[in-house]
Structure 1
């Protein structure tokens, strides 16, 4: 049986217990608040991150793992599982240098190591769910090349939207101007965002009021999914599980929910969209 080990980075937003149960190796990005530096998800939790974000005058910065960080993880895997294949899946290269760093690490490894690096062209649990599926297939002894094909098909069938609660962080990050942010806040505008096939975040619609925005997001999913009645769903939240549960309750009025995952929107996306955001990822059963 082929033995394949799955590696990803902390922007995949896979709940810790889920990553552990599937033997997924998670390499953390680094997060910088002023003079303080933290390993994402290791030295700072999602709750602590959003508490700091709410008080910060300037947005934190993030940096990808170094090639040496990846080499260390890959070599540890080789020592623990001699001859194993490694499949390393990462956040969209359009959003972070993390994928490029993994590619450099591959060039530093022994050429006999069976190492495959994949650009997910997505972010947060939008690719975390692909990583989990890859780990499930790996546990069945599926070959790496077949896992890559399967997760690519899954990516194409998966739909996702982010509902942003405040324009403050989009303005701080330079995504919108101050005048637009002020005007939008006065009108109670809630942007809906998504990620395109090139892995770039783009605006879908602007809706007045959160309740209407939630309803509109569900309408968008219905348009995308057609007549599908059963779905798998993951809802990312900004250390506020109640908001995710409220969305799930609304969604359950329209679909039969099979696999359900609650997770946190991590620091990379979270620093740009801010508190109160929910991210919804749906894939067919």
Structure 2
């Protein structure tokens, strides 16, 4: 069996500690905050609390994906050391970063013909992307080779369910995803949109729910309805949040009460600065293995 590494991007929204403990490699996106450039390095350069407070205070944010040259510089040391590479990339429904990774793959495989690079479009985001990467590590630790893991991911990644809600529409309005009129009415009526991710890896609004308590109940209901084995679900569950830990904890408590066979406690992570630049504060996302996603 050839030596290989499993790699992802910082948009998997896990902690540096988690990635290191699971022996997972990662490369960072970039963002700007009021014109100052940072690496999206899992909160190392700028704590998430400071980032979201700056957004609430009116700071301008901008994100940029990893380019092909950066991927080449990142991949090449592994190839030089005799490792093949399995890289999982942020959903192509949200970013073109997988194209940069594939350009780097083509260039490097010409230079290192004895090495192999496999690139998977995860069709996932935030800690859902992280849950898929973590599964790849489980499969590696069970003895699978790189090609087997890649095949498993391609066959099963659409069974990774994503559900999101937001209690603050400010940044959805600012980013143009909700009109000013709809957003203003939504804020007045305390509307919390509930979204999921389709099989093209795009976020799709599904429901408009009035009130935080109701949307928390509804997102857990979606897991009860859609998880593998329903209430006997025995997989892992991840949650990510943008500066609203108490809301994430409320969802986690309901999940843990509903699924007694859950694989460990619900793991809660921060929505990182790349995805958080678009959602703003007030977003909670729930991730679990379940029914295959549809195309609508």
TM-score, normalised via structure 1 length: 0.92
SS in 2 for 1:258: coil
Match of 1:230 in 2: 233
Residue number in structure 2 paired with 1:181:
183
Q: Corresponding residue for 1:36?
A: 36
Q: How does 1:2-21 map to 2 (within 5 A)?
A: 2-21=2-21
Correspondence for 1:69:
70
3-state DSSP of counterpart to 2:168: coil
- Give the distance between the partners of 2:152 and 2:130, measured in 1 at CA: 14
Superposed displacement of residue 153, structure 1: 4.0
CA contact (8 A) 1:236 1:279 kept: yes
Matching residue of 1:205: 207
| Contact 1:3-1:141 within 8 A present in 2 as well | no
State which of 219, 243, 250 in structure 2 corresponds to 1:246. 250
Task: Please give the secondary structure, in 1, of the residue aligned with 2:258.
Answer: coil
Given that 1:5 and 1:138 are in contact with CA atoms closer than 8 Å, whether structure 2 keeps it comes out as no
Do the aligned partners of 2:165 and 2:284 also contact (CA within 8 Å) in 1?
A: yes
Q: 1:241 to 1:185 in 2, by over 3 A?
A: closer
2:62 matches 1:56: no
Counterpart in the other structure of 2:170: 168
* Cα distance between partner residues in 1 of 2:247 and 2:149: 33
Cα deviation code 1:259-282 (max 9, x no counterpart): 332111122322222212111101
Q: Can you list the C-alpha shifts for 1:79-133, whole angstroms capped at 9, x where unaligned? A: 3x31x22001011112112111111111221431210111111111111111112
Q: Indicate the SS of the match to 2:45.
A: coil
Q: Aligned runs of 1:5-154 on 2, under 5 Å?
A: 5-41=5-41, 42-56=44-58, 58=60, 60-79=61-80, 81-82=81-82, 84-111=83-110, 112=113, 113-154=115-156
SS of match in other structure, 1:253: helix
Matched residue, 1:266: 272
Q: 210, 216, 235: which is aligned to 2:218?
A: 216
Contact 2:30 2:274 in 1 (8 A): no
State the shift of 1:239 in Å. 3.8
Stretches of structure 2 lacking an aligned partner (at least 5 in a row): 291-296
The answer on whether the counterparts of 2:172 and 2:178 sit within 8 Å (CA) in structure 1 is yes
**CA RMSD of superposed structures (Å):** 1.8
Q: Which consecutive unaligned segments of at least 5 residues does structure 1 have?
A: none
Contact 1:159 1:282 in 2 (8 A): yes
Deviations 1:186-243 (A, max 9, x none): 1000001111000111101010000001111122222213634234210101144333
CA distance in 1, matches of 2:59, 2:39: 21
Q: How much has 1:57 moved relative to structure 2? A: 5.1
State which drifts further: 147-156 or 164-173: 147-156
